[in-house]
């Protein structure tokens, strides 16, 4: 695994500058090709070695995020570790957060919703108004997760996520490495080509702390009011926003931004 010199993304360009975004992506083709043949921890290490500037890893303390965080700590990589605390997480998630910091001797930076925006949201739609319609649910996700993510990624040259291709049809369209044209940064999904079973096996073999809810059928864990356990045979993200009939299972973090 050899270092590949990668220039940081250029300053923000107009959203219509598709050609500029394409050129930047092509300039990183060598890194994309190199990452494909590496193991996930090697992918993370090569990105850190090759890219100057700040790299941010966001985690919701799912099993994928825990395994990625394990590799970052194991290799002592200089990567900004961030979580989005929506204020509606499970008690088990907060317990795992504390356990993870103790286990690895590190601090995970918390980003919270904007207070004024949250107060306005609750005043308008009520504390559980997200159940009323897809629009109210999206509004809640935007305030509690999407806008805080923008602040979490402020100044970052790259973003590391726990996204896997087999989690959903939408996520299967991603890749190990992509260029986020709206945020103007590289996005590394080091576990993109791993299965959930492979991730779980690694966590068990290496003593990686995981959420107790996984053993109760909670496969994909988000906010407590919006997450349920899944039944045998259900798709992995079926427990997220299960009351909606359109089959959408994304809060907006991985959707293209206007």
For residues 35 and 176, the answer to whether their CB atoms sit within 8 Å is yes
Catalytic residue among 140, 141, 226, 251: 251
Calpha distance 76→86 (Å, rounded):
28
For residues 206 and 51, the answer to whether their CB atoms sit within 8 Å is no
Q: What DSSP element (H or E) covers 161?
A: none
| Catalytic residue check, 251 | yes
Q: What three-state secondary structure class fits 133?
A: coil
Answer positive or negative: Cα dihedral of 209, 146, 222, 170: negative
Q: What three-state secondary structure class fits 142?
A: helix
**Nearest one of 76, 257, 59, 44 to 158, comparing CA atoms:** 44
- Annotated active-site positions, please? 251
């Amino acid at each position: 695994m050899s270092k590949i010199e990668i220039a940081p993304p250029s300053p923000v360009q107009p959203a219509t500058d598709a050609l500029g975004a394409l050129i930047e992506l092509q300039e990183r083709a060598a890194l994309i090709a190199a990452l494909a043949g590496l193991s996930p921890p090697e992918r993370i290490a090569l990105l850190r070695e090759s890219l100057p500037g700040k790299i941010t890893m966001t985690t919701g303390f799912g099993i994928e995020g825990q395994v990625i965080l394990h590799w970052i700590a194991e290799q002592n990589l200089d990567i900004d570790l961030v979580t989005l605390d929506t204020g509606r997480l499970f008690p088990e998630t907060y317990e795992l957060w504390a356990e993870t910091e103790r286990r690895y001797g590190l601090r995970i930076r918390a980003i919270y919703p904007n207070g004024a925006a949250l107060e306005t949201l609750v005043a308008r739609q009520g504390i559980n108004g997200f159940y009323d319609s897809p629009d109210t649910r999206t509004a809640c996700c935007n305030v509690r997760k999407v806008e805080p993510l923008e602040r979490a990624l402020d100044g970052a040259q790259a973003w590391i996520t726990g996204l896997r291709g087999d989690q959903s049809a939408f996520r299967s369209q991603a890749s190990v490495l992509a260029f986020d044209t709206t945020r103007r940064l590289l996005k590394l999904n080091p576990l993109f080509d791993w299965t959930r079973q492979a991730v779980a096996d690694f966590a068990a073999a290496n003593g990686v702390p995981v959420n107790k809810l996984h053993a109760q059928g909670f496969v994909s864990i988000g906010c407590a009011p919006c997450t349920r356990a899944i039944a045998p045979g259900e798709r992995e993200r079926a427990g997220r926003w299960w009351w909606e009939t359109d089959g959408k299972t994304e809060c907006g973090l991985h959707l293209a931004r206007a």
